[in-house]
Structure 1
Amino acid sequence: MYDVPCSRVGHIYRKYVPYKVPSGTSLARNLKRVAETWMDEYAEFIYRRRPEYRHLSTGDLSAQKALRKHLKCKDFKWYMNTVAWDLPTYYPPVEPLPAAWGEIRSAASGLCMDSKHGATGTEVRLDTCLKEGAERTWSREQIFTFGWREDIRPGDPMHTRKFCLDAISNSSPVTLYDCHGMKGNQQWRYRKDKSLYHPVSDSCIDCSPGDKKIFMSKCDPQSETQRWLFRHVNVTVLDKFNSP
């Protein structure tokens, strides 16, 4: 065990829970207890992202707060400004607005991109678009967010998964890969001609409606199979992404 000043602590989850926990909101309650004990006004950022936490009962925190006072701990603002000053660059407290989100529909076929709730290495494919308001199932996943990191992730803007659309060449399939936030293979541009451009390979997302495959191809402004329609677009953010 090492005593390392200003170290960061992570958590590796087990594949199973070897002990019994109360059903329901036990994890959320524990997270709220930590926030209310240590995070001061920064706890509000958690409630904005997880509004369901706001009205959970924390139980008695008097012992925890007494310990903090006894140890003469500095406040959380000091920690954020002095120790974790660079953290908001990579993990903004308030999620910046996305450039586009919702279903990504193929203009050529009317089918939608679907990641099927896959894991790393899963190929993104076309499938029949779910009707607006239809129940989402674990066999279908057609909501994507083109977010501030300039990557595309399954999920709505407030609840994206940690996988990103990824491509390795101008002829490769489009797959899911663990998001790394470093752009490269996971950086995209949504251009005015409705193409999804991949700068690192200088190619565009294409599709074959007949077999429902999605892959990279040389960009062709005349190609209908390279046109993709997001349900929602924020033109201001999109223009910022596309500016030189």
Structure 2
Amino acid sequence: MCPSRGWSPTSRFPKKIYPRFSRDSMGQHSDPRKGHNGNQLETEANADLSPELGMIFNEQDQDVRDVGYQKHAFNLLISNRLGYHRDVPDTRDSKCAKKTYPPDLPMASIVICFYNEAFSALLRTVHSVLDRTPAQLLHEIILVDDNSELDDLKKDLDGYMQENLSKKVKLVRNKQREGLIRGRMVGASHATGDVLVFLDSHCEVNEMWLQPLLAPIKENPRTVVCPVIDIISADTLIYSSSPVVRGGFNWGLHFKWDPVPLAELGGPEGFSAPFRSPTMAGGLFAMDREYFNMLGQYDSGMDIWGGENLEISFRIWMCGGSLLIVPCSRVGHIFRKRRPYGSPGGHDTMAHNSLRLAHVWMDEYKDQYFALRPELRNRDFGDIRERLALRRRLNCKSFKWYLDNIYPEMQVSGPNAKPQPPVFMNKGQKRPKILQRGRLINMQTNRCLVAQGHPSQKGGLVVAKECDYNDSEQVWSYNEEHELILSNLLCLDMSETRSSDPPRLMKCHGSGGSQQWVFGKSNRLYQVSVGQCLKLVDPMSRKGYVSMAICDGSPSQQWHLEN
């Protein structure tokens, strides 16, 4: 399905696209031609009301949303309504805004490899770079289409680029699917800027994002840098700040986030200073182009995706470089519900790539991996002679040196295990602030939403019954995380996979999504994870069953939280 790309009837490919809703859906007209900073709906899109952009008003909206989750694993309906430009909150530490950078920073080639990406997400990634990057630092943006199958990524993308994008944006199309690893190598081979900056195709860069990455590379070309990766919700596309953490891994060779050791944060700049990271997440980083080539680029024997981030991280540290996370550079990333596409032939590319990584770089410590994955000991992993020769040519250190000097916190099983040194731990999360308490009343029937059984019954249904103002178990709390909590016990929850199921009471998980509810216009109670509104099934029935439905604003969908 080709997603809707804009709301303006005057241009097929408008440069700026703003949300627009019909009179039927929102009760009033809005003008999509308002200026960038004056558009009310766009302002709401970046505030707490942004989840309302996901309301499903008709069957076409439902189709866009369903297909979006199926193909892209995030909310395509909201992505399309947001368009290609939006403001995002500045999530940097206050000290970052006061920092200055050398005027003669190197120029950057931004490499974005994509495969079957949502058109709106891809274009928002590109425009965020164009909108927030000084022209004198942006040498080019190279888009690498890894043989995508979606129609709108072919002629539509060509047409949009020709009509709307700078000549600095270039498109390279692979004739067959190469995967992220070799796709990035293709992009790097076309780049001519001083520094390569790799981004995923569903990102939005923040204010002053590039200068903090380029400055350490100018100072030392063997420094590889990563921004702090902020969170863009897959359900709402709300952009939120990420905590300051660093990259690590476990012996299953899976990347993980770790707290930052106190020793890394002890300088006068505190949380705004770059700090060392044992590994990178892999999606977003910057590296001197000549150093990238000299260090061996990526292992071209790896397939599609998986393990390449650990491989390049080990190689950087063991072969004389350094890897830093730069807190003053922030880039938002859509953390999708799942990886929405597989590998050709269904091969386990993660296992294949991890085997190559283990046999080339981990020396005797590869036994730690095989202790967890004994079935892989005799699996073929291809020819690694060229990568072993690269390691010898670069005179790289041992993996023991890496563990001792870069990641001493890593636990090794057996008699040589070392205790972990103290690490910086974030303080426990504060409980969300309660915004309102009261009875949740269906305005058509004047009945209250209550537990069908007891409000402490996990998985129990909710129904609309006669209000009893002496019954404290009918009282809901609505907090700043958009959770509805009955009797201070359980949260109103919706299945994210079966929107036909009725809402239930479940333990509050604090992750939004299935427990995120928004009081919208026309008294509608909108559920973020399914994009639908709460409805009283049959106002004439005393059973009071409720369900989710397309947000049509009918009387049975009108609810009020009464103090």
Q: What TM-score does the superposition give when structure 1 sets the normalisation length?
A: 0.51
- Structure 1 residues 201 and 150: CA distance shift in structure 2, 3 A: same
Matched-pair identity in %: 23
Q: Secondary structure at the match of 2:455?
A: coil
- TM-superposed CA distance for 1:85, in Å, is 3.3
* 2:465 paired residue among 127, 142, 165: 127
Equivalent position of 1:206 in the other structure = 535
Equivalent position of 1:96 in the other structure = 433
- Structure 1 residues 135 and 196: CA distance shift in structure 2, 3 A: closer
- Separation in 1, partners of 2:434, 2:460: 27
- Structure 1 residues 202 and 135: CA distance shift in structure 2, 3 A: closer
Q: Is the contact made by 2:494 and 2:515 (CA closer than 8 Å) also made in structure 1?
A: yes
- Separation in 2, partners of 1:135, 1:178: 22
Q: Is the contact made by 1:188 and 1:196 (CA closer than 8 Å) also made in structure 2?
A: yes
Map 1:190-229 to 2 at 5 A.
Answer: 190-207=519-536, 208-209=538-539, 210=541, 211-221=543-553, 223-229=554-560
Equivalent position of 2:455 in the other structure = 117
- Separation in 1, partners of 2:474, 2:471: 12
- Separation in 2, partners of 1:197, 1:172: 15
- Aligned: 1:166 with 2:517: no
- TM-superposed CA distance for 1:188, in Å, is 0.9
- Separation in 2, partners of 1:135, 1:114: 10
- Separation in 1, partners of 2:450, 2:525: 16
- TM-superposed CA distance for 1:150, in Å, is 1.3
What residue identity is the alignment partner of 2:433? P
Residues 140-168 of structure 1 deviation map (CA, whole Å, 9 limit, x = unaligned) = x210011122111012xxxx21x110112
What residue identity is the alignment partner of 1:96? K
- Separation in 2, partners of 1:84, 1:217: 43
Q: Higher relative CO (CA 8 A, sep ≥ 6), structure 1 or 2?
A: 1
Q: Secondary structure at the match of 2:521?
A: coil
- Separation in 2, partners of 1:164, 1:107: 22
Residues 116-151 of structure 1 deviation map (CA, whole Å, 9 limit, x = unaligned) = 3241110001111013xx254xxxx21001112211
- Separation in 2, partners of 1:84, 1:204: 39
- TM-superposed CA distance for 1:220, in Å, is 0.8
Q: Is the contact made by 1:96 and 1:148 (CA closer than 8 Å) also made in structure 2?
A: yes
Q: Secondary structure at the match of 1:225?
A: helix
Q: Secondary structure at the match of 2:509?
A: coil
- Aligned: 1:144 with 2:471: no
- Separation in 2, partners of 1:228, 1:135: 19
- Separation in 2, partners of 1:117, 1:226: 23
Q: Secondary structure at the match of 1:193?
A: helix
Residues 17-50 of structure 1 deviation map (CA, whole Å, 9 limit, x = unaligned) = xxxxxxxxxxxxxxxxxxxxxxxxxxxxxxxxxx
Q: Is the contact made by 1:170 and 1:218 (CA closer than 8 Å) also made in structure 2?
A: no
Equivalent position of 1:239 in the other structure = none
Structure 1 range deviating more: 223-232 or 164-173: 164-173
Can you give the 5+ residue segments of structure 1 that lack an aligned partner in the other structure?
A: 1-5, 7-81, 233-244
Map 1:180-191 to 2 at 5 A.
Answer: 180-191=509-520
- Separation in 1, partners of 2:471, 2:433: 28
Q: Which runs of 4+ in 1 moved over 6 A?
A: none
What residue identity is the alignment partner of 1:196? L
- Separation in 1, partners of 2:443, 2:547: 15
Q: Secondary structure at the match of 2:510?
A: coil
Equivalent position of 2:443 in the other structure = 107
Q: Is the contact made by 1:170 and 1:202 (CA closer than 8 Å) also made in structure 2?
A: no
- Separation in 1, partners of 2:471, 2:514: 32
- Separation in 2, partners of 1:83, 1:127: 50
Equivalent position of 2:239 in the other structure = none
- Separation in 2, partners of 1:101, 1:150: 13
Aligned residues: 135
- TM-superposed CA distance for 1:83, in Å, is 5.6
- TM-superposed CA distance for 1:84, in Å, is 5.0
What residue identity is the alignment partner of 2:441? R
- TM-superposed CA distance for 1:215, in Å, is 1.2
- TM-superposed CA distance for 1:96, in Å, is 2.2
- Separation in 2, partners of 1:213, 1:135: 20
